C-alpha cells in the first residue's frame, strides 16, 4: 500500500474532459483566484455566523445550549474529515473533488438559509463542514499544479493563505452588516455566488490525478469525528447543564472510548491517517497541542466575545463585527512576515513568543468585568491576534522539522486537523463560560500549559 509521500512520485492520469490535464496558460491569475476562493469560503464561514447567533436565537427560539453547535457542527465535521480528505483528493482527483465541494457548499448554504428550526440549521452547518473538508487539501494540490517550481509554489502558498484570511477578517463585519439589513438568513446567501464564480474560474484547472492512491482510512475518519463530536457535546452540555448530569458524563465517556479505539485502529490500518510512528514522537505531539491550543484560544474567544458584546454591552451586529477588527486584521498581513521571522529566528522561538502573547491576552482578560473599558478588551484582542499568527506558523514550521521525511505531508495534515479540533473545543468551552474573567483565566492557563509542553519536548541534538 503506498504511503502519503509516495503521492508525489505516482504517474498522473487525466480526468475525463481534461485536455492533457494541463491548465491553459492564458489566465493564470484567474485560475489562482479560483483556487483561493475555495479556502476563502472555508474561513469566511468560520466567523460570519457568530454575530448572527443572537438573531438566530430570537428568530428560531433556539436554546442557549444550541448556539455553540450552530458554529461547532461545521468545525467538528471539518476537523474529523480533514485527516482523510487529502487521500480522497488523491484518489478521485483534486479538480473533481474541488469542483464537487464548491457545488455542495453553494447548495447547502441555500438550504441552510431556509432552515425552519435550529436543528435543521445545525445539520446544514455539519454538511458545510463536509464540503469544507473537500476544499482545503484539493485547493492546495491544485495550487501545486499551477506552480511546479518550489520557490514559486512557496510564494503562491503564502499569497493563498493571506488572501484567504480576508474571509476570516470580513466574516464578522459582513455578517453584522447583513444581519442589520435583513436577518441571519442573509449570512448564508453570500456563499452561493462566491462558489459559482470560483467554479467558473476553476474550469481550466489541471485534471491530472495519480495513477493509484491509498484507500481512505474510514475507521480513522469515523472514530475521529465520533471522538471530537462526543467531546464537544459533553463539554457544552456540562458547562450549561452541570457536570453532575448523566448525559454530559456519558458523552465524555464515549469520547474517551472512541479515542482508545482510534489509537488501536490506527495501529492496524494499512495507511493510517495518524501513523503511530508519527504521533509517538514527543516533539510532534507538542506541535499538535500548540497548534490546537492556538486555535482553541482564538476561535473560542471570537465566539465568547461576540455573545458578550451583544448581550452585555448591547452592541448591534454591525458594531460587534467592527469591534473585532483589532483581532482579525493582523491575520491579513502577518502571514507575509511570519515566514521571514521563522527563517531568521527559527520555529521554536516564534512558537514560544506566540504562546507567550496568548498567555498575556488571557491575563489581560482576567481583569475584565462588565464595566471594564473597551480599551482593555482591545489590548487583549491585539495580543491574541499577534500571538496566534506567530504560534500557528511556528508550530507548522516546527512540525516540518520534527516529522520524519516520509510523514511530512501527513504531519501537516494532522496539524491542520488539530487546529480545527481546537477551534471546535474552544467554542465549546469558552462559549459557555459566564464571564470574560473566566475566559481570560482559561486562555492564560491553556497557553501556559501548551508553552510548558513545547519547552519540554526539546529538539534532539544534531
The per-residue pLDDT for 215 is: 66
**How high is the mean pLDDT in each 10-residue block of the chain (462 residues)?**
37 44 55 85 88 89 84 85 75 85 95 93 93 85 74 70 79 90 92 91 67 65 82 79 79 89 80 77 88 89 84 82 83 73 81 91 85 85 89 81 74 81 85 80 90 78 48
Angle at the Cα of 161 from the Cα atoms of 155 and 166, rounded to 5 degrees: 130
Long-range contacts of 402-405 (CB under 8 A, 24+ apart): 402/281, 402/283, 402/284, 402/287, 402/459, 403/278, 403/281, 403/284, 404/277, 404/278, 405/5
Phi/psi at 13 (nearest 5 deg)?
Answer: -130, 170
* CA atoms of 251 and 245, how far apart (whole Å): 11
Cell of 244: 453532575
Strands 12-14 and 208-210: antiparallel
According to the model, what pLDDT value does residue 106 have? Answer: 94
Residue 101's pLDDT is 93
Q: How far apart are CA 82 and CA 434, in angstroms?
A: 32
- Residues 287 and 283: their CA atoms lie apart, in Å, by 6
Say what the pLDDT of residue 16 is. 46
State residue 8's pLDDT score: 38
* pLDDT tens track for 197-247: 988 887 777 656 555 555 666 777 788 888 888 888 888 877 776 777 888
From the list 202, 207, 211, the residue with the least C-alpha distance to 20 is 207
The torsion of the CA quartet 116, 64, 426, 333, rounded to 10 degrees, works out to 60
The whole-number pLDDT of residue 7 equals 38
The whole model's pTM is what? 0.76
What pLDDT score was predicted for residue 93?
Answer: 81
Number of residues assigned to the chain: 462
State the pLDDT at residue 426: 87
Give me the half-sphere count of Cα atoms (radius 13 Å) on the Cβ side of residue 5: 11
For residue 67 the three cell numbers come to 448556539
Measured CA to CA, the distance from residue 345 to residue 287 in angstroms comes to 17
Cα separation of 102 and 192, whole Å? 9
Distance, CA of 196 to CA of 105 (rounded, Å): 10
Looking up cell 510512528 gives: 277
| pLDDT over 70 percentage in the chain | 87
The pLDDT value given to residue 409: 64
| Distances 350 to 277, 337, 379, 393 between C-alpha atoms, Å | 26, 12, 20, 8
Amino acid at each position: 500500500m503506498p504511503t502519503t509521500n509516495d503521492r508525489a512520485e505516482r504517474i498522473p492520469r487525466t480526468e475525463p474532459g481534461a485536455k492533457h490535464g494541463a491548465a491553459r496558460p492564458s489566465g493564470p491569475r484567474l485560475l489562482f483566484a479560483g483556487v483561493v476562493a475555495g479556502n476563502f469560503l472555508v474561513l469566511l464561514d468560520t466567523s460570519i455566523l457568530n454575530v448572527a447567533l443572537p438573531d438566530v436565537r430570537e428568530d428560531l427560539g433556539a436554546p442557549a445550549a444550541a448556539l455553540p453547535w450552530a458554529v461547532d457542527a461545521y468545525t467538528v465535521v471539518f476537523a474529523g474529515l480533514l485527516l482523510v480528505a487529502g487521500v480522497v483528493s488523491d484518489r478521485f482527483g483534486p479538480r473533481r473533488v474541488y469542483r464537487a465541494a464548491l457545488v455542495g457548499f453553494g447548495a447547502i448554504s441555500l438550504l441552510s438559509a431556509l432552515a425552519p428550526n435550529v436543528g435543521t440549521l445545525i445539520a446544514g452547518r455539519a454538511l458545510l463542514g463536509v464540503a469544507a473538508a473537500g476544499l482545503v487539501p484539493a485547493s492546495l494540490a491544485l495550487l501545486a499544479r499551477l506552480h511546479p517550481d518550489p520557490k514559486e509554489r512557496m510564494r503562491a502558498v503564502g499569497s493563498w493563505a493571506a488572501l484567504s484570511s480576508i474571509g476570516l477578517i470580513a466574516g464578522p463585519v459582513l455578517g453584522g452588516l447583513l444581519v442589520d439589513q435583513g436577518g441571519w438568513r442573509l449570512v448564508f446567501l453570500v456563499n452561493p455566488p462566491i462558489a459559482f464564480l470560483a467554479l467558473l474560474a476553476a474550469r481550466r484547472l489541471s485534471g491530472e490525478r495519480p495513477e493509484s492512491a491509498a484507500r481512505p482510512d474510514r475507521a480513522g475518519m469515523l472514530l475521529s469525528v465520533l471522538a471530537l463530536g462526543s467531546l464537544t457535546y459533553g463539554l457544552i452540555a456540562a458547562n450549561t447543564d452541570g457536570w453532575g448530569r448523566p448525559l454530559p458524563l456519558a458523552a465524555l465517556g464515549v469520547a474517551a472510548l472512541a479515542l482508545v479505539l482510534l489509537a488501536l485502529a490506527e495501529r492496524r490500518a494499512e495507511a493510517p491517517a495518524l501513523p503511530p510512528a508519527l504521533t509517538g514522537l514527543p516533539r510532534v505531539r507538542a506541535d499538535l497541542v500548540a497548534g490546537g491550543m492556538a486555535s482553541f484560544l482564538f476561535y473560542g474567544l471570537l465566539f465568547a466575545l461576540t455573545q458578550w458584546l451583544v448581550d452585555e454591552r448591547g452592541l448591534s451586529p454591525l458594531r460587534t463585527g467592527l469591534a473585532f477588527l483589532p483581532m482579525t486584521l493582523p491575520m491579513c498581513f502577518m502571514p507575509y512576515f511570519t515566514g521571514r521571522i521563522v527563517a531568521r529566528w527559527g520555529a521554536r522561538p516564534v512558537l514560544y513568543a506566540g504562546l507567550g502573547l496568548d498567555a498575556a491576552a488571557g491575563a489581560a482578560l482576567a481583569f475584565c468585568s462588565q464595566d471594564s473599558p473597551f480599551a482593555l478588551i482591545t489590548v487583549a484582542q491585539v495580543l491574541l491576534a499577534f500571538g496566534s499568527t506567530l504560534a500557528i506558523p511556528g508550530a507548522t514550521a516546527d512540525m516540518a522539522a520534527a516529522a520524519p521525511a516520509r510523514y511530512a505531508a501527513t504531519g501537516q495534515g494532522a496539524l491542520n486537523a488539530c487546529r480545527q479540533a481546537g477551534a471546535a473545543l474552544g467554542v465549546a468551552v469558552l462559549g459557555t463560560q459566564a464571564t470574560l474573567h473566566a475566559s481570560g483565566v482559561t486562555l492564560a492557563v491553556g497557553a501556559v500549559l501548551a508553552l510548558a509542553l513545547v519547552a519540554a519536548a526539546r529538539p534532539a541534538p544534531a
